[in-house]
Amino acid sequence: MKKAMVFALVLVCCVSVFAQAQAESGSKTITMWVSGAGAQVDAMKAAVEAFEAQSGYTVEFSAPGETYEELMKTKMAANDLPDVFDTHGWSVDRYGEYLMPVNDLDFFANVSRQIIPTISNDKGEALVLPFDMDLTGIVYNEDVLAEAGVDVDSIKTWADFEAACEKVKAIGKTPITLGASNGFTVGWLYDRIAPSFYITDEANSKAADLKNGIFDEAIWASISAMIDRWVSNGYFNADVVTGDFVGDITAMATNQAAFDFIQNVAIMMAGGINADAHLGMMPIPSNSASDEPTLISGENVALGIWKETKAKKGAIELLNYLAQPEVAATIAAATGNVPALTNVKLDLGAVQKYIDKHAAVEAYNYFDRDYCPSGLWDVICAAGQEVLAQKPNAVQNTAKQVKDSFDALYGN
Amino acid sequence: MKKRIDTINLFYVPALVLFALFVIYPFFKGVYLSFTNWNGYSRSFKMIGLKNYVNLFKDKNVHRAFANTLVYGVGSTVIQNALGVLLAVFLNKKFRGRSLVRTVIYLPVMIAPLIMGYVMYFFFNYNRGAINDVLKLFGAAPVDWLASGNRAVFILTLVNSLQFVGISMVIYLAGLQNIPSMYYEAAEIDGIGVKQRFFYITLPLLMPAITSSVTLNLIGGLKLFDVISALTGGGPGYDTHSLSTLIHKYYFGGERAGYASAIGLVFFVFIMFVSNIVVKALQRRQVEL
């Protein structure tokens, strides 16, 4: 018995010493997690592999896909984060307390002034290396609109937009395609419409109220009422409630639908389905004739360093490497977005002419990120599904639901 | 003798430590969190007393999820057991291909419920779904099967029941094979019909099997999660959520971990209460052989 105990003790000591040795050598190993999928992750992975080959560091790269946010929340709760991770639009509100400021790092001088406020906390500390900035509106199909006799440049207000939808419907095509079974598509719809109701009309702006935790439920009900009217008028695809994101892009690529409330990357993805598809991007209409159409902007792919990382030196080297113009360009190009580093020059192909065309249009950050507490996104998506499904009293009930959740998350 | 017992008792320690670490500690931590406004990841949160418990009784999504959970639990139990008994009685008879039929009925049990949900998506999908393709063959208009919350709840109950009916069938087959043939022989001599034999011999003597099967199915149905996640994601809106999926949604997506913990705790008490009542009620009806 005694011999067995001594053996067990020795074994435990050996394991501990081995583990300690591993931890000490861990400084040459960097853990890195990124969100998203497809071309964006492939580009990041290729860049990281090139860094490994050149630097001698080992990067444990992970892209968990749809479960990224849940896993990251679990890791934050355990205070055990990857050394480097993607903040996907939430560098300040969600991940802020776990990130190391990057103002003093080499690449910071090249970060676009436009995005610095979005990625900085109240103390002026920038928290991430941003690769691209969303600059997007509504994606449309040029051929379908031409067939319906719609001049896209004449769409200034939601009333104009509805008139265009009527014309598209008249030729037997789907005016708006949306796949609400992927809840995020519903969130994108509300994110695009909400600023024109709450923010962009300066005379009636509720921006200050929202920042102070005051949510106007009646305005939200107006947005939902408009969407409900679109459903009643038959502007959406027949399977709007159960359709999916891939179906949306396919409908746009195959000239079955006219409008899609989606990011510019859809234009590139549609090209992969049908090389002859002609998709464009237009500004988001305003709610009143006295207001102007706008665009949505904001942080997209951005990497931060965990402030308690044991691999700080390696993580900084990795970010500096990825921020080099030729490397950062490959990552930004995969998203179809405007580069967020001033020394990165990039031709976005099919998307570029629309970015240039609308360069003078005012852009606002994503509504839920800028004016709502973290966590409301999920409520917006689910509430929007109820509106699209036209449940009884959904317009009023869901407006109350969104307000209650806003208040609860805000701590009111 | 005492020393031997002490030594034996030592062997409980690893199990007790693991149980305390992975069950007792998280349970009490969950109770504590249910009185906070923790968002699930931040290091700062505050105590808010009974607010979460008060809110959950006013929350329509919780009410809906609670009703759905009962439908999933009771509905699955009824369908699985009714079908399970019938299949077991049928498959207890000798005929050619009996083993093959048993295997086919049991096969879906071996598929992960998440995968089953994804497979079923291709049946109920509007555009490329197998059921709508069949409808189109007969000239009927396609139906968006999962767009209505009530219909989707029924579909989810059916999918879950049909996937796990094999378990009930196996339990009842084992139960049937334990019933001594002398009861049936005596009944036959007395001229008792098939229907009466089933209700007065088979069913009472199957009670131990019914207890096991009903309890397993009920708990499985009440905890339904994977197939909902795969097939509807709880939507449209919150219409098809069970309490399990709603807790998950509130905890991670809604960032209301304290509130989700409160719902979880109430749910735990509910399942414990229902399971105990059902087991006790069924045990009272068991017959000694």
CA angle A249, A255, A260 (to 5 degrees): 45
Q: What is the pLDDT of residue A27?
A: 65
Closest-approach residue (CA) in chain B for A243: B126
B-facing residues of A in 175-214 (CB < 8 A) are 180-181, 183
pLDDT tens-digit profile of A188-215?
A: 999 999 999 999 998 889 999 999 999 9
Domains of chain B, CATH where assigned: 53-284 (1.10.3720.10)
Q: How far apart are CA B186 and CA A323, in angstroms?
A: 87
Q: Does A238 touch chain B (CB under 8 A)?
A: yes
Closest-approach residue (CA) in chain B for A97: B42
Judging contacts by C-beta atoms under 8 Å, the chain B residues touching residue A190 are none
Q: What is the pLDDT of residue B241?
A: 96
Query: In the 8-state DSSP scheme, what is residue A351?
Result: G
- For residue A37, what pLDDT band results from cuts at 50, 70 and 90? confident
Distance from the B243 Cα atom to the nearest Cα atom in chain A, whole angstroms:
16
Contact between B235 and A241 using a beta-carbon 8 Å cutoff:
yes
Average pLDDT over residues B257-267: 95
Query: In the 8-state DSSP scheme, what is residue A29?
Result: E
Collapsed DSSP state (helix, strand, coil) of residue A33: strand
Residue environment code for B179-199, b if the CB has 16+ CB neighbours within 10 A, otherwise e: beeeeeeebeeeeeeeeeeee
Q: Does B41 touch chain A (CB under 8 A)?
A: yes
Q: How far apart are CA A400 and CA A220, in angstroms?
A: 9
pLDDT tens-digit profile of A287-303?
A: 999 999 999 988 889 99
Closest-approach residue (CA) in chain B for A78: B41
Average pLDDT over residues B255-276: 91
Q: How far apart are CA A161 and CA A165, in angstroms?
A: 6
Collapsed DSSP state (helix, strand, coil) of residue B80: helix
Collapsed DSSP state (helix, strand, coil) of residue A132: strand
Extents of the domains making up chain A:
27-134+299-354, 136-297+357-410
Closest-approach residue (CA) in chain B for A74: B41
Judging contacts by C-beta atoms under 8 Å, the chain A residues touching residue B235 are 180-181, 183, 241, 382, 385
Given CATH 3.40.190.10, say whether it is the number of domain A27-134+299-354: yes
Closest-approach residue (CA) in chain B for A379: B254
CB B82 within 8 A of CB B210: no
Q: Fold for A136-297+357-410, please state it.
A: D-Maltodextrin-Binding Protein; domain 2 (3.40.190)
Let me know if the fold of A27-134+299-354 is the same as that of A136-297+357-410: yes
Judging contacts by C-beta atoms under 8 Å, the chain B residues touching residue A71 are none
pLDDT tens-digit profile of B121-161?
A: 999 999 889 999 999 999 999 999 999 999 999 999 999 99
Q: How far apart are CA A368 and CA A93, in angstroms?
A: 11
Distance from the A153 Cα atom to the nearest Cα atom in chain B, whole angstroms:
33
Q: Which of A19, A85, A28 lies closest to A58 in space, CA to CA?
A: A28
Long-range contacts, stretch A65-72, CB < 8 angstroms, 24+ apart: A65/A36, A65/A37, A68/A33, A68/A34, A68/A35, A68/A36, A69/A35, A69/B252, A70/B252, A71/A33, A72/A33, A72/B41
Distance from the A321 Cα atom to the nearest Cα atom in chain B, whole angstroms:
30
Whether residue A412 is predicted with pLDDT greater than 90 in this model: the reply is no
pLDDT tens-digit profile of A361-373?
A: 998 889 998 899 9
Contact between A243 and B126 using a beta-carbon 8 Å cutoff:
yes
Q: What is the pLDDT of residue A21?
A: 46
Contact between A73 and B40 using a beta-carbon 8 Å cutoff:
yes
- For residue A335, what pLDDT band results from cuts at 50, 70 and 90? confident
Whether residue B262 is predicted with pLDDT greater than 50 in this model: the reply is yes
The structure's pTM equals 0.84
Q: What is the pLDDT of residue A25?
A: 41
Query: What does the mean pLDDT of chain B come to?
Result: 91
Strands A58-62 and A29-33, by their bridges, are parallel
| Residue found by looking up tokens 């084992």 in the block | B174
Contact between B146 and A242 using a beta-carbon 8 Å cutoff:
yes
- Contacts of residue A347, defined as CB under 8 A and 6 or more positions apart, other chains included, come to none
Judging contacts by C-beta atoms under 8 Å, the chain B residues touching residue A374 are 39, 255
Model-level ipTM above the cut of 0.85 = no
Task: Name the residue facing B237 among A94, A375, A385 (closest C-beta).
Answer: A385
Q: What is the pLDDT of residue A24?
A: 42
